[in-house]
Amino acid sequence: YEITTRLVGSEMCIRDSRPSAEALCRRLTKGMELYHISTLVDLISLVSIRTGYSIGGFDAGKIEGDFLTLGVGKENELFHAIGRGILNIENLPVYRDATGPIGTPTSDEERTKLSPDTTQILIIINGYSGENGVENAIKLTTDLLTRYAYACDIETDYVRTY
């Protein structure tokens, strides 16, 4: 599935950007440990590794406005990538709220990152290859959230771009 994400990136003239699922798998194949951040982040990483999808996890309480848009990163658009500092997101697929960018398939933004105080989470599974496998990724995500993060009132929805 990540091959499709990388192809989307190639069509948008992305520089050396590695989708998050691919970066996680590369760490494992090199014998490197994964970062332990929190249960929520660890669950998202596990689903990403198991499914191959790049997955964004955001504190829904920090998202501004009533909706997100998916667009293309602009020249000099400010993006503080979690643990990476300022990231050039020009030509990357970018999710934005009313304030600005919150995530790409390669990184999420500091402003909306998950924290121990997070009580509502938004998870975006980037299924650029279509719906095949997305349902399984959603099921795995909801099962893990229910079992290990004691999540309740989980809502899921497909958002299609054409």
| Residues 98-157 pLDDT 10s | 999 999 988 999 999 999 999 999 999 988 666 778 889 999 999 999 999 999 999 998
pLDDT of residue 162: 60
The share of the chain scoring above pLDDT 90, in percent, equals 50
Which tokens belong to 123?
Answer: 């998870």
Burial (Cβ within 10 Å: 0-12, 13-18, ≥19) of residue 105: buried
| Residues 101-114 pLDDT 10s | 999 988 999 999 99
pLDDT of residue 14: 44
